[in-house]
Structure formats: structure tokens, C-alpha cells
Structure 1
Amino acid sequence: MEHSYIFKGISREVLWKTIQDKEVLQKSLPGCKVFDEVEENVFHAVLAINIGPIKGEFTADVQQVDMKEPEFYRLLVHVKGKPGDIEAIAEMNMVDTEKGAVLTCNADLEVTGLLASIGQRIMGGVAKVVIGQFFKDIEKETQKVAEF
């Protein structure tokens, strides 16, 4: 799964600073109830998701690795919920362009349980909605950071 988003008028340095802010992440993750840093660059989150056939509360453990500020990091993600589990490795690449910073998320997912039986097309659609909303909310936050 790959998704890119242009943060118009924002440098990748501002984007990096914004997406490393724990409060911003909690506000920007759809349905996020809890977002705690349990050790450096390791986070625990609780998300309530209600998009199409995907409903329920999910716990997520996320670790940032291979960080190269302000251009790249990888996320190691384990999500657990009644409908199933998701294991993901996502590469987050940021580049500056004339229009602004472009963030590209390239993720490999392994899905089990009911989530797997829903099908790749539906899961892909739900993932795009969640990621798209996340990027839009991050863009709002980058505007606030850029004003300082």
C-alpha cells in the first residue's frame, strides 16, 4: 500500500517536527483515545475505529526505527482488536518540492482474523480513509507550527 500527500507551503523540516509531536499525533490519529510514549520512539495507542465494516477498539504498539531526520523513518506496527490483528512495516519518506513537502507512506501489511476475510479491496479502502484523514489533520497542525 502506498499513499502520498503534499503539504503545501511546508518544508520537510516543519513536517518532521510536527509528526514527532506526541500531542499532534494523538489529535491526528482518527479515533485515538490513548497515545503514550512507553520508551523512546515506542508508543502505545488505543483507537476506536468505525469505518464501514471495520468497527471496534484496537490497541496499537508502534516503534519508530531507522530515523534519518528530516527525511525518513520506518514504523513497526502491531494492531490488535476483536476483528483481527494487523502487522505492518511502513516507510515514511519526506522530500521538499516546489509545492511543499511530500510525505510518502509505503506499507506492507499482514492482516489476520475477520479483518483478513473482509478482503484486500475493502481493507485498502478503509486504510486510505484513515491515512487520508490523518494526513489532512497533520496538515492543519503543520500550518500552526509554520506560523511560529
Structure 2
Amino acid sequence: MRIEYDYTFGLPRNIVWKYIKDETVLQNSLPGCKSFSEVSSGVYRAELEIKMGPIQDHFALEIRLYEKKLSSLIQLQVKGTGKIGDIAGNADLYLKDQQATTPLKCIIDAKVTGALALAGQRLLEDGANKGLETFFQKVEKDIKRQLYYLKRKGR
């Protein structure tokens, strides 16, 4: 399954780059996130509760983050196991500078197995797109909240 998703942050790229890899921002932003922690440099473990239409499951994920081009490209490898199937995939996040905004293009190649794969590609794609939209909106909101907090603290 291949998914392409575009989002534009109302923030400069250097700010997005700094915070989009932040453990707290990620935990606050991942839909259904129950836990999120860095277990070694660039390797995270997460537990997510997934709800897409009739599909509900609890997934244990391992996420590997690679910074390929400073401030421009992040690559992720994700492996997850749930009761109704497994998921494995790669994601490329491309960030650009554009007049105090940051257009982001996310390209995901994923494979699902088990009963999860039987749900149908359309349902999975719709669920993934909605999840990405929610995630990036929450990331932006959390970044803005943290910047506001730092500004009030005089930093």
C-alpha cells in the first residue's frame, strides 16, 4: 500500500525540523498513543490504539528514525504487531522552506498482514490519511504551544 500526503505547517522549517523529532511532541501527536519512548538513539517504542471504522486493535511499534538531509528529509522504518495483524513500512518526510511556512510531503510504503489486510485497501488508505492529518495538525499545535510557553518564559 502506498500513501502520499501533503501538509503545510504555518511555521519556518528550522522550527518544524527541531520539534517534529521531539519525543514529547510525538507522544502528544500520535493518534491513540498510549506510550512512546526512545530506547536508543533514533529508535523508539510505542503503543498505539488503532480505530478505523470497524477495526480496533492495540499495536506495539518499533520506529527507527533516520535524518538523511539536514532540515530536509527524515526517513522512518516502522514495524508493528497487533492482535489482528502486523504492519511494516517506510516513510519519507520531505520538508521545504517557503516564506515562513514549511510544506511537507509524506510518502509511505506499507505492508499489512493478517485480518488487518482483509479490511480492504480503501478503508486502510482512508484511515491512514485521516490519521496523518490528525497527526500533523497536532504536531503543529503542540509546537506552537511550546513556542508560546518559551516566549512567555523569556527564552
TM-score by length of 1: 0.93
Q: Is the 8 A contact 1:57 1:81 kept in 2?
A: yes
Q: Deviations over 1:1-41 (max 9, x none)?
A: 10010112x11110011111101100100111110101000
Q: Which residue of 2 aligns with 1:3?
A: 5
Aligned residues, how many?
Answer: 147
Describe the shift of the 1:88–1:36 C-alpha distance in structure 2 as closer, same or farther (beyond 3 A).
same
Q: Is the 8 A contact 2:8 2:101 kept in 1?
A: yes
Q: Which residue of 1 aligns with 2:34?
A: 33
Q: Given residue 110 of structure 1, which amino acid in structure 2 is its aligned partner?
A: K
Q: Which residue of 2 aligns with 1:58?
A: 59
Q: Given residue 41 of structure 1, which amino acid in structure 2 is its aligned partner?
A: G
Q: Deviations over 1:86-129 (max 9, x none)?
A: 11110011001136101111010111111111111110001011
Describe the shift of the 1:27–1:19 C-alpha distance in structure 2 as closer, same or farther (beyond 3 A).
same
Deviates more, 1:34-43 or 1:47-56: 47-56
Deviates more, 1:93-102 or 1:35-44: 93-102
TM-score by length of 2: 0.89
- Return the structure number with greater strand share: 1
Superposition misfits of 4+ residues, deviation over 2 angstroms: 66-69, 144-148
Q: Is the 8 A contact 1:14 1:146 kept in 2?
A: no
Structure 1: give runs of 5+ residues left out of the alignment.
none
In 2, the alpha carbon distance for the partners of 1:129 and 1:122 equals 11
In 1, the alpha carbon distance for the partners of 2:146 and 2:71 equals 15
Q: Deviations over 1:62-87 (max 9, x none)?
A: 00124322111110000110111111
Q: Larger Cα Rg: Structure 1 or Structure 2?
A: 2
In 2, the alpha carbon distance for the partners of 1:123 and 1:43 equals 24
Q: Is the 8 A contact 1:47 1:57 kept in 2?
A: yes
